[in-house]
Structure 1
Amino acid sequence: MAQKILIADDSPTIVEMLKFALSSEGYEVVTACDGVEAIEMVYKEYPDLILLDILMPKMNGYQVCRLIKGDKNTTSIPVIMLTGQDQPKDKFWGLETGADDFIVKDFESMSLFESIEKLLKETENVQSNKSLSKKETVSLDSILSRVNDLLDKRLFQTTIMNVINRIAQTEDKCEDILREILNVLTRVVNYHVGMILLKENEESSHLTVYVNQAVNETYVNAMVEKTKNDAITHLGYSIDKTNIRITTFNQAGNSSSKDVPYKPKSYISLPLVAHKAVIGIISLSSSDDNMFGGEMNDTLIVVINESSIVINNVMLREEIKRLAITDGLTKCYNHRHFQEIIANEFNRCKRYKSLFALLIIDIDHFKNVNDTYGHMAGDSVLREVSACLKKSIRDVDFAARYGGEEFALIFPATNLIGAFQTADRIRQSIADMTFSELPPEKQITISIGVSSYPEILAQTQYELIDRTDQALYRAKHGGRNKVELAV
């Protein structure tokens, strides 16, 4: 059976010329002289390909193309725009409305036939089932109704995109953006609990689960369980209790935990994709059956596609900020950020009559480690000591690489005695460690200087650092593997 091509052009000369050329090549040709007739012929004839002029009466080629590509029944029909408009913006708009190719009318016939042959071959499998489609007789009122429906749909989608872009402009923290995106979803999609799962960063094996409202643990576990396979498929991660952190957003107007069933009855999970890479997963659940599908899914996909870029951008910004304040070797905060933290903590405690403790730690005989076992082994020792320090402190505390083999710890709301006890526990933990790049019998020890403001009187944070450093000096020269208090 000959393949059918629709020519839509208001120039009889162009139509006859193309009809003759295409018929000579064995194609069946149908024609239309304006945009409305073109739409009628599309639904009446279901052509294999459309040659579409831009400037036509009643409805221009851009509008016709947008309508054809916006209908799932005709979206796979390839469209070649033929036009005398040769400005870059014309080609841009033509391709953005969904055209598969854009050819200026002073074309060589060979280039047109090459494009026709290429597009027909590419869509051969898709179009092989078109005979099953029900052909329609489409009235002008029906066409106008479809145009209005398409415009309404595009306007709705554009509004969603604008709302999400406004979120990106007004919020700069990842958690705030995620909260607002879940809030947008509550306004356009019927669901009870929303969950966004993200990998924390490139150097972390942890996944963070953000839930849009406070629900009981059983419900969250049920959603996480449903997301397990998606996490493996899309992120390459297996979810278990040891590698997930759950952050809950309490949103006004949402159901309380007692209103949410223990098991979600409807569930949908979709990947967040940015720059062809999966950056996370968004999952929605409902207490009602069969809530997701059809037009709701179309809306959900628009939100997710736009949100993916916004989330990816804020994650990149936060990753850049994290790298700027992090020591590359130990993954502790770097010296510059330590100075910012201690300045803020000192001023806060001075203003609000609070207290904090400072520890400065030095690895004993570290030069001998480098000289005896090599710098690779020395770097490994620094990483393992750093890991022990971070494991030994609270979430509210700060660990920084002060310089070389020295580390600094800041403990908010901690007095001198409490800081001393923690320091001695850390000292003992390091002394008991075995190190991966050193012989098992090789012991690594640390010396620690401890101070606390305002128990140790100091006019500035620099004076407090100096007093703590003096305590460290006494520990080093008093035999090492010791903790000394500042005076």
Structure 2
Amino acid sequence: MAGLPKSFTGWDVTPPEQRSREDLTGGAGMAELHESIARLLASRNQWRQAYHHLRSALDLMTSGESAPEPEQLRHEVNRLRRAHAEAREQSLRDSLTACYNRRYLDQRLEQLLAERSSADGGLAVALVDLDWFKRVNDTHGHLLGDRVLQRVVDLLQEALPDGAFCARYGGEEFVLVLPDVLPNSAVQVCESARQRVEQFPWSQLVPGLGVTISIGVAHERGACAGRGSAEQQLISADALLYAAKRAGRNAVAFRKGAEVRLAGAAAGRSRSSERKAAGY
């Protein structure tokens, strides 16, 4: 049992195999056995199993009416619970931007799609890409590029509705997941995010720097969302992102029926293109 955490100082650390039979009989003996196992598991960062053994030890030690409350054990159970929760949370976060990672996105998006019903407003998935980001890295270096990514994530998350979240999809691509929103509201959330990024004073980071984003917003209403897959909705959002980039970037593209449209000021670009195609 060598190498146990210092937080267990003051406890009986004698391995269970070295204790007498009398020590390990009855509720108290079983509680000590659970404690010993928990210490070993905690030293290996196996927090979930350690927590369950400490929980069992606590139950055994508080089962008697006259038994004193083991405050040290109770505190250790709570510490392990917090450590386990923190470790799980960190495993679902992107190390650079602190938004959620691809692992969380895949898990949560599948859950949300399975929960959709005809009574829901629907589910919107927006794929966000930084425009010309390679130029930022090539011109100013990757350290500044990292700062840009961090700031963009802050701006994306600034005014998300309840239940929505941002996740890093890969590289300079991010996903906004907006549950229980109507199509117009989803587009407005994304257009507001696009404006915040465009209007941020990037020159404060380095003179002459400008950053914009392009977004493709795919929306599925109610029960229709439940019949699709996370992959299908991401593919739809990716196709709309491509439409936004093809229209000149710094735009939000969405679908209105069978027609692809651009939001906000960028909407004039598509109308101009239509007039040119018609010969006006």
Per the alignment, residue 278 of structure 1 pairs with none
Per the alignment, residue 102 of structure 2 pairs with 335
Displacement of 1:347: 1.6
Q: Is the counterpart of residue 411 in structure 1 residue 178 in structure 2?
A: yes
Deviations along 1:377-413, one digit per CA (max 9) or x if unpaired, are 1111111111222222134111100111011011111
Per the alignment, residue 236 of structure 2 pairs with 467
Q: Is the counterpart of residue 477 in structure 1 residue 227 in structure 2?
A: no
Cα distance in 1 between the residues matched to 2:123 and 2:96: 27
Cα distance in 2 between the residues matched to 1:383 and 1:413: 27
Structure 1 residues 171 and 443, CA, compared in 2 at 3 Å: closer, same or farther?
Answer: farther
Query: Higher RCO, 1 or 2 (CA under 8 Å, sep at least 6)?
Result: 2
Instruction: Tell whether the 8 Å contact from 2:214 to 2:244 is kept in structure 1 after alignment.
Output: yes
Displacement of 1:431: 0.9
TM-score by length of 1: 0.38
Gap runs ≥5 in structure 2:
1-17, 39-50, 259-280
Give the secondary structure class of the aligned counterpart of 1:358.
Answer: strand
Cα distance in 2 between the residues matched to 1:411 and 1:327: 19
Deviations along 1:21-51, one digit per CA (max 9) or x if unpaired, are xxxxxxxxxxxxxxxxxxxxxxxxxxxxxxx
Instruction: Tell whether the 8 Å contact from 2:203 to 2:210 is kept in structure 1 after alignment.
Output: no
Aligned residue pairs, count? 208
Instruction: Tell whether the 8 Å contact from 1:381 to 1:437 is kept in structure 2 after alignment.
Output: no
Instruction: Tell whether the 8 Å contact from 1:449 to 1:468 is kept in structure 2 after alignment.
Output: yes
Opposite residue 171 of structure 2, the aligned amino acid is G
Displacement of 1:430: 0.7
TM alignment of 1:1-16, pairs within 5 A: none
TM alignment of 1:19-418, pairs within 5 A: 89=19, 168-169=51-52, 302-303=70-71, 305-350=72-117, 354-418=121-185
Opposite residue 169 of structure 1, the aligned amino acid is H
Q: Which has the higher helix share?
A: 2
Structure 1 residues 170 and 482, CA, compared in 2 at 3 Å: closer, same or farther?
Answer: farther
Instruction: Tell whether the 8 Å contact from 1:411 to 1:419 is kept in structure 2 after alignment.
Output: yes
Displacement of 1:170: 9.4
Per the alignment, residue 268 of structure 2 pairs with none
Deviations along 1:81-102, one digit per CA (max 9) or x if unpaired, are xxxxxxx658xx8xxxxxxxxx
Gap runs ≥5 in structure 1:
1-87, 94-154, 173-179, 189-298
Give the secondary structure class of the aligned counterpart of 1:344.
Answer: helix
Cα distance in 1 between the residues matched to 2:81 and 2:138: 43
Instruction: Tell whether the 8 Å contact from 2:203 to 2:209 is kept in structure 1 after alignment.
Output: no
- Rg larger for: 1
Q: CA RMSD in A?
A: 3.5
Cα distance in 1 between the residues matched to 2:252 and 2:107: 25
Instruction: Tell whether the 8 Å contact from 1:377 to 1:437 is kept in structure 2 after alignment.
Output: no
Displacement of 1:460: 2.7
Per the alignment, residue 439 of structure 1 pairs with 206
Displacement of 1:438: 3.2
Structure 1 residues 479 and 316, CA, compared in 2 at 3 Å: closer, same or farther?
Answer: same
Give the secondary structure class of the aligned counterpart of 1:392.
Answer: coil
Per the alignment, residue 295 of structure 1 pairs with none
Q: Which has the higher strand share?
A: 1
Displacement of 1:466: 1.1
Deviations along 1:230-288, one digit per CA (max 9) or x if unpaired, are xxxxxxxxxxxxxxxxxxxxxxxxxxxxxxxxxxxxxxxxxxxxxxxxxxxxxxxxxxx
Instruction: Tell whether the 8 Å contact from 1:355 to 1:452 is kept in structure 2 after alignment.
Output: yes
Instruction: Tell whether the 8 Å contact from 1:380 to 1:437 is kept in structure 2 after alignment.
Output: no
Displacement of 1:354: 5.0
Q: Once superposed, which parts of structure 1, at least 4 consecutive aligned residues long, lie more than 6 Å away?
A: 455-458
Displacement of 1:352: 6.1
Instruction: Tell whether the 8 Å contact from 1:333 to 1:400 is kept in structure 2 after alignment.
Output: yes
Deviations along 1:400-435, one digit per CA (max 9) or x if unpaired, are 001110110111110110011111111011111134
Displacement of 1:171: 11
TM-score by length of 2: 0.64
Displacement of 1:336: 2.1
Identity of aligned residues (%): 29
Cα distance in 2 between the residues matched to 1:340 and 1:433: 32
Q: Is the counterpart of residue 428 in structure 1 residue 201 in structure 2?
A: no
Displacement of 1:319: 1.9
Cα distance in 1 between the residues matched to 2:192 and 2:121: 24
Structure 1 residues 417 and 354, CA, compared in 2 at 3 Å: closer, same or farther?
Answer: closer
Cα distance in 2 between the residues matched to 1:324 and 1:307: 26
